[in-house]
């Protein structure tokens, strides 16, 4: 497959010797009991079930000695499970089966540095090997095949950190053989014979040229191209088993991305699936032939359209049997068995095995059984109009018991957390959301907004966010808050802003550019200076650099540098007058620690209080549950003091965490005492 590279205190007190007052009485009294934060952010009991290609084995991720590892059991008897891996520190979050079903392959990094290494474990013996042992190197899975069982294609950037050379990896021997030396291509697409057929190269305008590859040689002239406007909504998906058809997600000549089938020989194209409201986002393809059987479009919620009547009948059957949104996550090579995950939102997700021959569903597990029976909240998809008429698809969650009519409007206004997604070229969607559920349980309305620039809603919606960091993208968030106030969901003085990555940036922008709009903010790994952010992006994002420049501001031009400066919260730090909590991973390769360090320094120079939490063993976000629990323990005390919601006491929340607080522990209630007790 193609590898895509595109990626304060309540008052200005003037001193750092003061602390926030003890939390006031909650603004609401939710009927739901307080749910322990560890039930939301601790390890799931089991997750990510997969069937081996031959259907003999069932695997999943589950804790072993408190760390997520891979477990395997005979598919006929899941009770005979055994732990196949023994990671002691870093949880395993991604894995897949080798094509022959003999090995489990997984990737992991060290401390969040994102230099992912590929490991293989033989199921029969439990022997684990490091398949890509190169230092300071990131592995990328380029291609796997249902037909070729003994090897896969991987990309490695050890020769040049900017580009991924493609290697054939012999799984039994662990031998790497160079297939394609990459000197400037963003990614490649291989067929079922593991032959590279297509290569994409970034253009100076932020677009991509696509070239045919024959015998690992790239042709001189491109067979197709996209400009900047289509660059995030047009990419090849892969070839059918016979190599005759190439599928694309493609927005060329249209707004929303359609599913396109292209004749590999003639170049003729045919629209397979489309929607006027949103991009085609997922597909189901026949494991044997690679022919697409169904596709999904996600506007307010995910909706599947079957192209194969048999698959349509199966999807209809699953909908009648399972209550919630359905996801097919694994299929055997002979397609006789599926793994199906159902997300009811108001209950934890459950995983089933679907035997297609017997037409039976067998429940395998619930990922968080400790939440079964808990008073979880419904999520309401809503459409909000921005000031210029754009429609912002958003998701609202209210505390259990706060909405007696069940219509998405609380009986009385609530304090609210505006929870902003990262990316920004990503999106919020409908489904169980641990942050939404946790915050709603604490008594807050929670609103997540797909501001302009978010993906999934067509290229025009993305383009509307170009050069709008801290400008119209931020206006969308303010418009959503105004909507919530007008709807009686909250009051203007009781709104916090919180998020990670771009959401962290939005938090900093909210407290600097609109210092009176929010009561407080929680920034998780958010950049404060867009110029230094672009200067320090990882080298393996080289192919996407022009897109960053065209969509954020070009640091190689005077106008671009001014644009980036003006959109950087760092230079408005003196305007902050509301409480701010910052969380950062010391090894973050995307948003370096310096992004948080520099705004904390600027605030301290102006005697503006801030709580700064730093994890020395984390990167871009917090992978270890001990660290997530520790940070969120501080966050809910912080929000409770700011908005008046409920908060679970710290207790032993910092146990096992690497948490450090370089500055401002005294500004978050209970944090100093919890650190001392740790």
d(CA 556, CA 565): 13
Active-site hit among 343, 588, 617, 663: 588
**Helix (H), strand (E) at residue 167:** strand 165-170
Pairing of strands 325-331, 302-306: unpaired
- Return the exposure string of 114-130: e unless at least 16 CB atoms fall within 10 Å of the residue's CB, then b: bbbbbbbbbbeeeebee
Structural tokens at position 578? 């509301």
Active site residue 501: yes
User: Which phi and psi angles does 170 have, rounded to 5°?
Assistant: -75, 115
Evaluate whether 348 touches 363 at the Cβ level (below 8 Å).
no
- Return the exposure string of 426-457: e unless at least 16 CB atoms fall within 10 Å of the residue's CB, then b: bbbbbbbbbbbbbbbbbbbbbbbbbbbbbbbb
DSSP per-residue letters across 58-124: EEEEEEETTEEEEEEEETT-GGG-EE----SSSPP-EEEE-TTSSEEEEEE-STT----EEEEEETT
Closest CA to 200 of 187, 191, 189, 212: 187
Structural tokens at position 502? 């771009």
Active-site hit among 251, 448, 454, 501: 501
Q: How many CB atoms lie under 10 A from the CB of residue 241? A: 19
Pairing of strands 495-500, 416-420: parallel
Evaluate whether 294 touches 281 at the Cβ level (below 8 Å).
no
The catalytic residues are 501, 588, 620
């Amino acid at each position: 497959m193609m590898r895509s590279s595109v990626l304060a205190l309540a008052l200005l007190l003037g001193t750092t010797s003061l602390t926030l007052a003890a939390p006031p009485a909650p603004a609401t009294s939710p009927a739901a009991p307080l749910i322990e934060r560890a039930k939301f952010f601790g390890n799931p009991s089991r997750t990510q079930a997969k069937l081996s290609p031959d259907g003999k084995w069932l695997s999943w991720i589950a804790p072993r000695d408190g760390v997520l590892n891979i477990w395997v059991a005979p598919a006929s008897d899941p009770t005979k499970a055994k732990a196949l891996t023994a990671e002691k520190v870093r949880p395993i979050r991604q894995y897949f089966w080798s094509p022959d079903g003999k090995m489990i392959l997984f990737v992991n990094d060290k401390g969040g540095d994102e230099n992912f290494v590929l490991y293989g474990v033989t199921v029969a013996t439990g022997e684990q090997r490091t398949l890509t042992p190169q230092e300071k190197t990131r592995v990328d899975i380029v291609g796997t095949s249902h037909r070729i069982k003994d090897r896969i294609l991987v990309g490695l950037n050890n020769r040049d950190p900017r580009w991924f050379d493609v290697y054939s990896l012999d799984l039994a021997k662990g031998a790497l053989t160079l297939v394609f030396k990459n000197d400037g291509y963003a990614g490649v697409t291989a067929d079922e014979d593991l032959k590279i057929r297509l290569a994409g190269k970034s253009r100076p305008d932020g677009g991509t040229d696509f070239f045919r590859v024959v015998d690992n040689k790239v042709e001189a002239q491109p067979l197709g191209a996209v400009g900047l406007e289509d660059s995030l909504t047009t990419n090849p998906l892969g070839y059918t088993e016979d190599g005759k058809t190439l599928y694309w997600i493609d927005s060329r000549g249209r707004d929303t991305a359609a599913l396109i089938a292209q004749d590999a020989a003639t170049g003729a194209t045919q629209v397979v699936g489309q929607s006027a409201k949103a991009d085609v986002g997922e597909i189901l393809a026949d494991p044997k032939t690679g022919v697409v059987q169904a596709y999904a479009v996600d506007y307010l919620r995910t909706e599947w359209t079957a192209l194969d009547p048999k698959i349509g009948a199966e999807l209809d059957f699953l909908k009648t049997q399972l209550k919630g949104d359905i996801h097919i996550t694994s299929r055997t090579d002979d397609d006789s068995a599926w793994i199906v995950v159902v997300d009811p939102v108001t209950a934890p997700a459950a995983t089933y095995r679907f035997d297609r021959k017997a037409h039976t569903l067998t429940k395998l597990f619930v990922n968080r059984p400790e939440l079964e029976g808990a008073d979880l909240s419904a999520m309401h998809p809503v459409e909000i109009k921005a000031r210029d008429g754009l429609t912002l698809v958003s998701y609202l969650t209210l505390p259990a018991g706060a909405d007696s009519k069940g219509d998405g409007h609380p009986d009385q206004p609530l304090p609210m957390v505006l929870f902003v997604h990262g990316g920004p070229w990503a999106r919020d969607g409908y489904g169980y959301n641990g942050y939404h559920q946790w915050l709603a349980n604490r008594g807050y309305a929670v609103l997540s907004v797909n501001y302009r620039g978010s993906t999934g809603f067509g290229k025009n919606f993305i383009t509307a966010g170009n050069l709008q960091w801290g400008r119209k993208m931020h206006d969308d968030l303010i418009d959503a808050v105004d909507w919530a106030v007008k709807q009686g969901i909250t009051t203007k003085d009781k709104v916090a802003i919180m998020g990670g990555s771009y959401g962290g940036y939005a938090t900093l922008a909210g407290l600097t550019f609109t210092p009176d709009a929010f009561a407080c903010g929680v920034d998780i790994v958010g950049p404060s200076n867009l110029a230094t952010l672009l200067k320090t992006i990882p080298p393996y994002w080289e192919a996407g650099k022009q897109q960053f420049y065209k969509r954020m501001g070009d640091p190689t031009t005077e106008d671009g540098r001014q644009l980036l400066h003006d959109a950087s919260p760092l230079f408005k730090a003196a305007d902050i007058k509301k409480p701010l909590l910052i969380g950062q991973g010391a090894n973050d390769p995307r948003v370096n620690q310096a992004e948080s360090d520099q705004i904390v320094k600027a605030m301290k120079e102006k005697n503006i209080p801030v709580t700064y939490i730093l994890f020395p063993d984390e990167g871009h976000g917090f992978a270890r549950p001990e660290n997530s629990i520790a940070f969120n323990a501080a966050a809910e005390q912080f929000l409770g003091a700011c908005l008046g919601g409920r908060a679970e006491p710290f207790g032993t929340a910092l146990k096992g965490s690497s948490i450090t607080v370089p500055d401002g522990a005294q500004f978050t209630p209970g944090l100093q005492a919890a650190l001392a007790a740790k």
